[in-house]
Amino acid sequence: MSEGDRRAALAAWITHPDNPLTRRVIVNRMWHHHFGRGIVETPSDFGFGGARPTHPELLDWLAGQLLANAWSLKSLHRMMVTSQAYRQHSYPGALSDDAVNKGAVNPWDIDADNRWLWRMNPRRLDAESLRDTVLSITGKLNPHMFGPGYRDFTYQEAYAPIYTYITPNSPDMWRRSIYRFVVRSTPHRFMTTLDCPNPANLTPRRLQTTTALQSLAMLNNDFMLKQAEYLAKRISTEVGDESSGQVERAFQLVFARRPTADEHAASLKLIDETGLFQFCRMLLNANEFVYID
């Protein structure tokens, strides 16, 4: 058997309808990225050394749907994000007195870790998505697709090459993060602070931490400061200098909703005291923007 025949036989075995493992792994990774945790918590280990699936029937059903839809990942994405499980709140609230009197069980007492998906798990945007979302909101995202990636660093030839990162402040460096040239030997400080994994290692599950450095980076990094300035300019251009209109437009852009009465009053006070730039800077650091909930 030739090398080409062996490769074809391997591909046929991997995708054969009687082999559910490939489809299970695919749908589990997609579930992991949408829900923050896979049905199997060890996405790279489906063997006896890995974790057991919390919902084995659901895993098999989704694997069957992938096959039934001709391996369409888009249809599977749509199915997950329109599901009732995905559209839940992260904190459904306390039980009413009436429910408690009727003997209702508080799910926080029996499944605080949410293994049974009775609520949504709030999770922070990953570093790349956060960067791209900021660019989209400020109107600076470059939608150009394909072709060579961009380099947000300078390069100095030496015995060991020296890479120095620069603030991405031009359209060619405002493309989506998937096109960013990654230097394995010199991780990007801002992205690393936001838990972007080490590019020299395989990372099936990213760490998600909450540190003071992340808040400081979001507030003071040159990229974030520049984008807050661009957001302020965009709002001023679109609605003028009237503060109330600026608040409404800012909330629509950053949070995709209108401000409450209290938020509106507090925002007007902040703009009056510190200016539109500082207001935009604070919005880009709000939990509602940084977290998926």
Could you read off the pLDDT of 202-246 as tens digits, one per residue?
888 888 888 899 999 999 999 999 999 999 999 999 999 899 999
Could you read off the pLDDT of 174-209 as tens digits, one per residue?
999 999 988 888 888 999 898 888 887 888 888 888
- Shortest CA distance to 251 belongs to which of 280, 218, 215, 220? 280
**Per-residue pLDDT, 253:** 95
User: Considering the entire predicted model, what is its pTM?
Assistant: 0.82
Distances (CA, A) of 101 to 49, 96, 97, 108: 44, 9, 6, 17
Over residues 74-86, mean pLDDT: 93
Reply yes or no on whether the pLDDT at 99 is more than 70. Answer: no
Packing angle of the helix pair 243-255, 261-274 (nearest 10 deg): 110
**Per-residue pLDDT, 117:** 87
Could you read off the pLDDT of 36-48 as tens digits, one per residue?
889 998 888 888 8
Share of the chain above pLDDT 90, in %: 51
**Per-residue pLDDT, 94:** 60
Reply yes or no on whether the pLDDT at 65 is more than 60. Answer: yes
33 versus 110: which is more confidently predicted?
33
Backbone phi, psi, residue 180, to 5°: -75, 130
Reply yes or no on whether the pLDDT at 59 is more than 60. Answer: yes
Q: Name the average pLDDT for the chain.
A: 89
